[in-house]
Structure 1
Amino acid sequence: MADLATPRAADPTSPAVAVAFSGGLDSTALLHAVARAATAHRVVALHVHHGLMPAADSWRKHCETQAHALGAEFVSTRLSGCPSPGESVEAWARLGRHGALHDMAVAAGADLLLLAHHRRDQAETFLLQAMRGAGTAGMSAMPRSQWRDGVRWVRPWLDHPRDRILAYAEHHGLRWIDDPSNDDPRYARNRLRASLWPAFKANEAGLAQAARWAQEAEALAQEVAAGDLERLVQGARLDLVALHALSPARKSNALRAWLRPQMAISSQLVQRLLEEWRPGAVQAWDAPGGRLHAWRDGLYWASGAEVPQASARLDLSRPGFHRQPDWGGGWSVEPVGEGGVPASVLAQLTQRVRGPGDQFQRGVGTVPRSLKKAYQELDVPPWRRDGPVLADADGRVVAVAGLGMDARAFAARDEPCWSLRWLEDSALPQSEGEGVVDA
């Protein structure tokens, strides 16, 4: 049992080592082993109270008593809210638990978080994902080590069978909680354990090995996708012609990698995009959180925020970035020598949707055009033509998102003036929020 009692992942440079501690057999054994091994470091037991079981309060007290008996610090968080109608209780609890564990670890000064998942957990996860039709990312199951927002999540016992953990706990006379929800057939993992696991138990090691192969395959797929996307992506545009020149497998792989940071991907959406796109066509597909647009043989993502219909009064007379959250962007205001709008005009603006009679003049001496014509002349994509219009106190157009300032609103020569520029949220640098002006 010596290898169980000395987790190889312990980082001696960490100011603290955190252990996810539910009070069950596995986490009790892990906390005991870590407390014995990490004598030179603080050990912090992190407990999440889900609020789902009547006995949860007594479990928390048990965990606190056990942690202190082992010389570990104890921190607990109770999840707020409850699953929404139709939402999986398992998914809700897992998401809340992960967030709580991360926040508690950071607050405790620990950048290493140990979890007690073992080989059977890994094999079960692989089976569940396979039965759901998951790809290599899903069948990779649980990683042994992973950084998440500054905290390293490590599963030091992922290769160990549960029988060894049970023997370790019994040898040291440990006491743990038996959660009755582990036998509740409403949960997919419990149904698998009751109905299918007896037939697969003898193949536990093979299933866990299959998960490791899936992890390698997924890592390779990500490397290939990264190389392909370097050639396929320019700014917010994915080159659809070049994408379709790839082999079917690389084409699907690259598209998934491009979509992944923006939405929850479904195989049906990927298939539709690959099958339905036609060169030169203007197309759109609904997607989680927004829409995907094909335009001039490029694919673009646009968030699904609804365009506000009500007008609003704005004072943009101060320099800085004036965020307009309902519109998915904001106005950047900066002083300029010429070709800007007088500050007196910026103090009394109305922000509204485009009207049927609106016109825009690009430069001094040019002919005013309808907004439709102006957007076409500047090659503004169709889905970016619904941004806000700014009008002065007399209703005259001052600036239009995607087009810029109307030349008719420019200040007179030698009059102090300011530039107005619309920036979408997706185009903002990470530090943009530092100069935000409340508008």
Structure 2
Amino acid sequence: MAASATPRIAESDLVAVAFSGGIDSTALLHVATRSGARVLALHVHHGLQPQADDWAAHCEGVARELGADFACTRLSGSPGRGDSVEAWAREGRHRALHDMAVAAGADLLLLAHHRQDQAETFLLQAMRGAGTAGLAGMPRSQWRDGLCWARPWLDQPRGAIRAYAEREGLHWIEDPSNADVRYARNRLRQSLWPAFPSAEAGLAQAARWAQQAQALAAEVAQEDLARLSTPRRLDLAALVQLSSARASNALRAWLAPCTAAPASLIERLLTEWRAGTTLSWPAPGGQLHAYRDGLYWAAESAVAPLPSTVDLSRPGLHPQPGWGGAWLVEPASTGIAPARLARLTQQSRAGAEQFQHAPASTPRSLKKACQQVGLPPWRRGGPLLFDVEGHLVAVAGLGMDARAFADQDEMRLAVHWLDDSDLPQREGGTKSAA
């Protein structure tokens, strides 16, 4: 292999190598063990082939022979009816590799993917109608959940890896499933590469261009979203002033932390929304809501919890897991007496509640009070807090009911609701005293 293809590893580092026992991972493990690093070979036993036990034993023997430590995980369960065997195995393999690497204290995992793998990924994604994110294929390196997944040979042709393995006299496993044409990659390997031997380099280069295009799209989206959005709200009126391509790009980026929105949903939203309309669209894991010219994401939630008793008489953050948020209690010049907060009933809306926003204001129905402050309909379900006499004390999203305010000569505590999405911003702050 070329020197530039050798992973750069500090001698003191523990480096994990995903080791299936095939030619590519065997060659990578061989190179890694000669880098001066302490190497851990990670093998995943899928349980899908009758030879799987023998392969695990072979991999352990090779790892020991090369001077690497060895760890193996056997996947439990099996693909469900109608599930893709490839997808099931890939998901389980990624999870097992991550867990083994982290448990051993490694933060770098080397994968033996090469140029032909990248070319195949590009072509398969193109046939599925993928956008630039899919066409970009596999990244050279990527941090996920505290682990760097690195592919040092992504630009290396497969022939160069085979030549290295043969020259070094390495021994590897030949998986018979690689000849099974039921799998799309195998059909490509048996038909495309023999007919178009130069296609590998061209398709891999196309993936690199897609990576650049995706990076550029991400930069443009970041600039647009800095003007158009907050983590909770996207300004639809401003979004539709952009070009169609730019609006779609920004919308997709805004949704990415919440849901994997299909292209059809992006198109529907931009086509169906009109200024001033209130609309909703189902999406994977939740719903999108257009309200007062803003777009909001609402994650799926279980049925509202049953009424419960809570004590908010002490300052701090009081999480309410079933409600998707927490009550924040703080000393304040305007607020509620601690004794009144000691035994509260927390529940969802019943339908006839009235809320008074300020001491001099008139109590209004909860619906009108929510409309007045622009609280979207899907965030009006609560929780609500009532004192021992059944008087409304506070409402999530609206704040404290002015009728519950303490007299000026009493100690006062302010009660505010924070959704789960707000909580990371307050890490290191006040914790619950309960």
Q: Does 1:345 align with 2:340?
A: yes
* 8 Å contact from structure 2 (residues 314, 433) kept in 1: no
CA displacement at 1:310 relative to structure 2:
2.2
User: Map of 1:14-413 to 2, 5 A cutoff?
Assistant: 15-36=13-34, 38-39=35-36, 41-308=37-304, 310-336=306-332, 338-413=333-408
CA displacement at 1:197 relative to structure 2:
4.7
Long gaps (5+) in structure 1: none
Q: Helix, strand or coil for the counterpart of 2:326? A: strand
Distance of 1:14 and 1:242 partners within structure 2: 52
TM-score of the two chains, using structure 1 as the length reference:
0.91
Q: 1:149 to 1:309 in 2, by over 3 A?
A: closer
Long gaps (5+) in structure 2: none
Q: Helix, strand or coil for the counterpart of 1:398? A: strand
Q: Helix, strand or coil for the counterpart of 1:284? A: strand
Q: Helix, strand or coil for the counterpart of 2:424? A: coil
Q: Helix, strand or coil for the counterpart of 2:334? A: coil
Q: 1:319 to 1:438 in 2, by over 3 A?
A: closer
The farther-off stretch of 189-198 and 212-221 is 189-198
The farther-off stretch of 105-114 and 157-166 is 105-114
The farther-off stretch of 104-113 and 369-378 is 104-113
CA displacement at 1:13 relative to structure 2:
6.5
Q: Helix, strand or coil for the counterpart of 1:43? A: strand
Q: 1:62 to 1:434 in 2, by over 3 A?
A: farther
Q: What do residues 227-286 of structure 1 show as CA deviations (whole Å, max 9, x unaligned)?
A: 222222245221222211212221211111111121112110111011111011111111
Partner of residue 418, structure 1: 413
CA displacement at 1:14 relative to structure 2:
5.7
* 8 Å contact from structure 1 (residues 9, 154) kept in 2: no
Distance of 1:383 and 1:85 partners within structure 2: 36
Distance of 2:80 and 2:322 partners within structure 1: 25
CA displacement at 1:163 relative to structure 2:
2.3
Amino acid at match of 1:207: L
Q: What do residues 273-306 of structure 1 show as CA deviations (whole Å, max 9, x unaligned)?
A: 1111101111111111111111222212121213
Q: 1:21 to 1:235 in 2, by over 3 A?
A: closer
Distance of 2:190 and 2:241 partners within structure 1: 48
CA displacement at 1:105 relative to structure 2:
2.7
Amino acid at match of 1:372: K
Query: Aligned residue pairs: how many?
Result: 434
Distance of 2:341 and 2:179 partners within structure 1: 65
* 8 Å contact from structure 2 (residues 6, 31) kept in 1: no
Q: What do residues 318-376 of structure 1 show as CA deviations (whole Å, max 9, x unaligned)?
A: 3322222222111112233x432233332322111111221112222432211011112
Q: Helix, strand or coil for the counterpart of 1:376? A: helix
Q: 1:405 to 1:107 in 2, by over 3 A?
A: same
Amino acid at match of 2:322: D
CA displacement at 1:11 relative to structure 2:
2.9
CA displacement at 1:137 relative to structure 2:
0.9
Distance of 2:345 and 2:389 partners within structure 1: 10
The farther-off stretch of 400-409 and 193-202 is 193-202
Percent identical pairs in the alignment equals: 64
* 8 Å contact from structure 2 (residues 7, 32) kept in 1: no
Distance of 1:81 and 1:417 partners within structure 2: 56
CA displacement at 1:109 relative to structure 2:
3.3
* 8 Å contact from structure 2 (residues 305, 322) kept in 1: no
